[in-house]
Amino acid sequence: MSTLPRTAAPALAPIREAIRSGSAAQAQTILDTAERQAAEIRERGRSEAGQIRSRAEADGREAARAEAVLRSARARREAGRTVLAREEELREELRRQVLAEAARLRSDRRYPALLEALRDQARQLLGAGARTSEAPGGGITASLGSRSVDLSLPALGSAALERYAGEVRDLWQE
Amino acid sequence: MTVPNRNLVSHRDVRELRGPLMVVGDADGVGWDEFAGVDVEGGPERHALVLEVNGDQALLQVLEGTDGMRLGGISVRFQGRPLHIPVGPEWLGRVCNGRGEPLDGGPPVTADTVEPVGGWPLNPVYRIPPKEAVITGISAIDALTTLVRGQKLPIFSVAGLPHLTLATQIAAQSRSGGRNFRVVFAAMGMTHADIAYIRDRLEERSAAGELVLLLNAADDPVIERILTPRIALSIAEHLAYEEGSDVLVVMSDMTSYAEAVREVSAARKEIPARRGYPGYLYSDLATLYERCGRVQGREGSVTIVPVLTMPSGDMTHPVPDLTGYITEGQIVLSPDISARDIYPPVDVLSSLSRLMRSGAGKGRTREDHLDVAAQVLAAMARARQASELAELVGEDALGEADRAYIAFRSAVEEKLLNQGVDEYRSLEQTLGLAWEALALLPRRELSMISNELLDRYLPGPLGGARL
């Protein structure tokens, strides 16, 4: 290993100084860069966290909205079902009353005339030779060959309900 | 006191029961297609349809099948006319089975008017061409295959794809400018899980009294499935032409319907044609699809969106094939796109709305709509070529334009086409997304759009960042 002569030291001093200050500056630059990068990372992290938070908030809001929509839809369905069930109850009640009224016709003084009219009706539908008999619930049943006709009071009551469906609807539409 | 109609007369001369078929004797005066009630001893009433009449014998198909019936215990009441149903706004908000009987616990639907389920024949010259768009709120449809009032536009799908989600989304969201918008959803051959799903998805519109839901389950009688779309269309025609509403009829799944037609045809021992379907499948489907449209002097319209699943994805299968002859375009769903997790998985290059020009563009939707749609489709076709090339040589070896096209396709699929299952997008939003995707291409490539429109709509400084 060679050693420099003593006299070289003062001559090298400016170089040493230059190297030292150069490396100090470089260290400072590296430090500055690192700090800047750290700040950027911190900032990026913060903004990413912000984004995640706002996305999560949006997701949460959307989920809550969907849940609310579903819940209100179910509530409406339930309400609709209750209304429809009530309408059906009304219809059933009317049907019961109509059939009861129809049965009461048997004690009406015009009942024999009604039976005669129904016999005529049965003969019109089946032919003159139709055999008619009084139905157990009132009214007439008739048959001819393989054909038969049910003009009993319950059957006529049900048919009337079907025919006047519009009026039945008025029970809940008005 | 007079009791009209001969449906009070019961016929008890039942001579034969075979499968779903029943032969009734002493039935003079009964006509083809007549509907009948069947009283079975000790059981609920069933329903039947006259298929044939020969002398005094009538051949009927019992909707509920003849299981549990025996000769001697049956009486048949012919109604003297084909199946009629009450029609009117009373149907709105109701949930019924495929035969129109309530499933929602309410009373039977009644109305002041009754119409035959087969509809009345309409003089063809009274029909007027479809016009004006129906906005579905789904970008893939609104932007590229616009649905038009009075059009019939089927969705071709494959089992396992989210066609039911798409159909219910269309039914839940669609609207037309200004008029009352009503939806009739006819579900055919659905599983009970699917039915629950449909009810949930359409609850809001149903509760708002804008929707009629007819639900035929997979285990319901087959003939009922044949009646379901006809009942739906009769209801829709009345709502449209008498009440003046724009009515959308969504029918899902028409393949299930066609299978029911095949089953009935086989029971009648008819000569089968392609894949066992009867030779008249084409005209049978046409009697449904051709009931859409607009009518001179009437306000409303009937628009039909049938959904059909192509067995094994085969577009030459008789059902999609014959449907394609009758309808005005198609929306095709693709398993490949679905596999990339894109909803709705619409294959835009195979999809087409033939009447789009009548419903979109200046004075109808927006001035740039048709040009944007044409440009997006042309660019998607070019992007497909570019991606095929990229598979051979690698993306790095592609030129700048080809790379831009690939980026464009990703943007179209991920931003324009991809959408939430409950998300409604206005046409403005949809076209905005289309322009954003187009902005990824060099402006010189956008040759199908005029400079004026490019300057006005293309995002970026001076109408396009990438000059």
Instruction: Report pLDDT digits (tens) over B41-75.
Output: 888 889 999 988 999 999 999 988 888 888 888 99
Q: What is the pLDDT of residue B29?
A: 87
The arithmetic mean of pLDDT across residues B222-234, rounded, is 92
Q: What ipTM was assigned to the predicted interfaces of this complex?
A: 0.76
Co-location of B426 and B315 in the same domain: no
Q: Is there a single domain that holds both residue B224 and residue B280?
A: yes
Instruction: Say what the pLDDT of residue A19 is.
Output: 92
Looking at chain B, which residue has its C-alpha nearest residue A69?
A: B204
Indicate if B39 and B186 belong to the same structural domain. Answer: no
pLDDT-based confidence at B328, cuts 50/70/90? very high
Same-domain status, B172 and B268 = yes
Q: Are residues B259 and B373 both part of a single domain?
A: no
Taking residues B344-364, report their average pLDDT.
93
Task: Report pLDDT for B2.
Answer: 44
Determine the residue among B1, B8, B26 to mutate to test chain A binding: the one whose Cβ has the most chain A Cβ atoms within 10 Å.
B8
User: What pLDDT score was predicted for residue A173?
Assistant: 79
Determine what percent of chain B is predicted with pLDDT higher than 90: 74
User: Domain of A57?
Assistant: 12-173
| Residue B402's pLDDT band (cuts 50, 70, 90) | very high
**How many domains are contained in chain B?**
3
A6 part of a folded domain: no
Reported pTM: 0.85
The whole domain housing B388 covers 369-457
How many domains does chain A contain in total? 1
d(CA A36, CA A31): 8
Q: Is residue A4 part of a domain?
A: no
What is the predicted pLDDT for the residue at B130? 87
Residue B139, domain member (yes or no): yes
Determine phi and psi for B131, rounding to 5 degrees.
Answer: -155, 155
Tell me: pLDDT of A162 over 90: no
- Residue from the list A81, A159, A168 with its beta carbon closest to the beta carbon of B3: A159
- Chain A: residue whose CA lies nearest to B106: A84
Are B395 and B352 found together in one domain?
no
In terms of domains, do B43 and B127 share one? no
Q: Contact A165/B12, CB-based, under 8 Å?
A: no
First to last CA, chain A: 117
Strand segments (E) across B9-45: 9-11, 14-18, 21-24, 34-40
How confident is the model at residue B123, as a pLDDT? 83
* Minimal-distance CA residue of chain A relative to B8: A149
Number of residue pairs across A and B with CB atoms under 8 Å? 85
Residue-wise pLDDT for A90-133, tens only, equals 999 999 999 999 999 989 999 999 999 999 999 988 888 889 99
pLDDT in tens, B246-262: 999 999 999 999 999 99
Of B315, B338, B359, the last residue of a domain is B359
Give me the pLDDT at residue B292, please.
Answer: 92
Torsional sign, CA A38, A44, A46, A52: negative
Rg (chain B; Cα; Å): 25
Same domain as B347, residue B382: no
Please give the structure tokens belonging to residue B465.
């960042």
For residue B205, what is the nearest residue in chain A, using CA coordinates?
A: A73
- Which of B359, B380, B409 is a domain's end point? B359
Rg over CA atoms, chain A: 50
- Is the Cβ pair A81, B104 closer than 8 Å? yes
Categorize the per-residue pLDDT at A169 as very low, low, confident or very high, splitting at 50, 70 and 90. confident
Taking an 8 Å Cβ-Cβ cutoff, which residues of chain B contact chain A? 1-3, 6, 8-13, 25-26, 75, 86, 90, 93, 102, 104-107, 110-112, 199-200, 203-204, 206-207, 422
CATH code at position B69: 2.40.30.20
User: What's the pLDDT score for residue A2?
Assistant: 61
**Are residues B311 and B351 part of one domain?**
yes
| pLDDT grade for B5, boundaries at 50, 70 and 90 | low
Q: Half-sphere exposure (CA, 13 Å, Cβ side) for B157? A: 26
Query: Does pLDDT of B467 surpass 50?
Result: no
